[in-house]
Amino acid sequence: MPSQSLSSSSRSWAFWYKPVLFLLVAVIGLYYVKWSPYYLKSFVAADSHSIGGSIINDNPASPIAAALAYAQVYFLAIWKAAVLAVILGSLVQVLIPRDWLLRVFGKAGFGSTLRGGLFALPGMMCSCCAAPVAAGLRRQNVSVGAALAFWIANPVLNPATLIFMGFVLGWQFSALRLVAGLVLVLGVSLFAQRISRPEILPEAAVEAVEVASAADNSSLLTRWMRTLWQLFWTTIPIYVLAVLILGAARVWLFPHVDGAMGNGWLWLVPLAIVGTLFVIPTAAEIPIVQTLMGLGLGTAPAVALLMTLPSVSLPSLLMLRKSFDSRVLVAVALLTMLVGIVSGIVGGLLL
C-alpha cells in the first residue's frame, strides 16, 4: 500500500508540475514586464495627466531615417514583452495539456470566445506581443473565436491602458473605449469564427497525431526548444520587417495636423485605416492622440485612432498568417476599421 501511494503521488506530481511551471513563468514574467511598471506609471498619469510624448512626434523627412528612428524607439519599448510573449507562446504548447485547452477554449461558440477574452486581461500586451501566444494557442487547436478574442482583448481591453486613458484624456474616453472594445473583441471574434473554414479533422488524422505525440520520447527541454524556434521563425522576422516598412511609411501615413482639421468627419475613414495598419507599443495611442488633439485634431477622428491603433496592426496580422485563414484576418482588419469609424462618430456626438 505505501508503494502504491508513493506511485500515485509521483504520477500526480508529474501531471501537475508542467501547468504549475507555466503559471510561475507567466506570473513572474508579467509582473516584471507589465504589472509592476504599469502600477508605477498609473501614479505618473494621475499626477501629470501624461504618460510621455508621442512616439510619432519626431517628423523625419526621410523614409529611411523614419524607419530606423521608429524601429529603435519601438523595439526599445517592447522587446521585453516580445521575448516574454514568444516564451509563453511556446510554453503553452508543451506545458499545458491540450485537453485542458480544448475543454476551456476549444468549442466554436460564445462561451469559448468570452473565456478567451477574459484570459487576455492579465496579459496587457500590444497586438504584436499577443500574437505569438495566440499562435501557440491555435497550434493546440483552440477555436478561432477564442484565439482571436485573446489576441484582440490584450491591447483593447487592457485595464492599465483604460486607467491611463482616464487620467490623461478623461474617463468618458475610457468608458467609450471599454464599450466599443467589448463589441470589437466579442463581435469580431464571433463573426470571424463563423466565416472560418471548418476545423474538424478526419478521425484517422487525429489518431495519427495522437499516436505521434505519444511516441515522442524527447525531453521537455528538447520539445520546448523545437517549439520555441518554430514559433520564433514564423513570427519574428516578418514582424521586424513590417515594423521597418511602417516606420518609413509614417512620413506619409500621418498627416500634418492643424486647426483646420478640427472635428471633420472626413478624416474618420483614412485615420481608421492608418490606425488599423500602423503598429505601436502598449498604451502609445494615448500620447499620440493627446498630442494630435493638442494640435487641433477633433474628437471624432481622435476616437477612431484610439480604437484602431492598439487593436490590430499589419505586423501582427502578418505574424498570424499561418494561424488563421486569410479571409479571417482580412475580415478582422476591415471590421476593426468599421468599429473605429462608428466609435469616432459616436465619440464626436457624445464627447
User: What pLDDT is stored for residue 219 in this prediction?
Assistant: 84
User: What pLDDT is stored for residue 297 in this prediction?
Assistant: 86
Name the band, by pLDDT with cuts 50, 70 and 90, for residue 210.
Answer: very low
User: What pLDDT is stored for residue 11 in this prediction?
Assistant: 58
Minimum mean pLDDT range among 30-34, 91-95, 156-160, 252-256: 252-256
CA dihedral 283, 285, 286, 292 (to 10 degrees): 160
Give dist(CA 298, CA 55) in Å, integer: 20
Give dist(CA 241, CA 1) in Å, integer: 61
Report which residue type is found at 211: V
Minimum mean pLDDT range among 51-55, 158-162, 196-200, 289-293: 196-200
Give dist(CA 274, CA 255) in Å, integer: 10
User: What pLDDT is stored for residue 12 in this prediction?
Assistant: 61
Minimum mean pLDDT range among 70-74, 163-167, 256-260, 330-334: 256-260
Give dist(CA 124, CA 283) in Å, integer: 10
Convert 235-271 to b/e letters by CB count within 10 Å (16 or more is b): beebbeebbbebbbbbbebbeebeeebeeeeebbbeb
The more confident residue out of 223 and 259 is 223
- Number of other CB atoms surrounding residue 303 within 10 Å: 30
Nearest to 157 by CA among 188, 115, 185, 131: 185
Instruction: Return phi, psi of residue 264, to 5°.
Output: -60, 120
Question: What value does the mean pLDDT of the chain take?
Answer: 87
Report which residue type is found at 319: M
Section 263-270 average pLDDT: 79
Give dist(CA 235, CA 308) in Å, integer: 22
Do the beta carbons of residue 318 and residue 290 sit within 8 Å?
Answer: no
User: What pLDDT is stored for residue 171 in this prediction?
Assistant: 97
Name the band, by pLDDT with cuts 50, 70 and 90, for residue 57.
Answer: confident
User: What pLDDT is stored for residue 62 in this prediction?
Assistant: 79
The more confident residue out of 274 and 255 is 274
Kindly write down the DSSP assignment for every residue of 10-64, as one continuous string: HHHHHHHHHHHHHHHHHHHHHIIIIIHHHHHHHHHHHHHS-----TT-S--SSHH
The more confident residue out of 32 and 210 is 32
Section 19-44 average pLDDT: 96
Answer whether residue 180 shows pLDDT above 70: yes
Give dist(CA 285, CA 290) in Å, integer: 8
pTM value?
0.90
Answer whether residue 4 shows pLDDT above 60: no
Name the band, by pLDDT with cuts 50, 70 and 90, for residue 108.
Answer: confident
Answer whether residue 94 shows pLDDT above 80: yes
Q: pLDDT, tens digit, for every residue of 129-158? A: 999 999 999 999 999 999 999 999 999 999
Minimum mean pLDDT range among 229-233, 265-269, 271-275, 337-341: 265-269
- Domain range list for the chain: 57-199+235-350
User: What pLDDT is stored for residue 203 in this prediction?
Assistant: 41
Name the band, by pLDDT with cuts 50, 70 and 90, for residue 2.
Answer: low
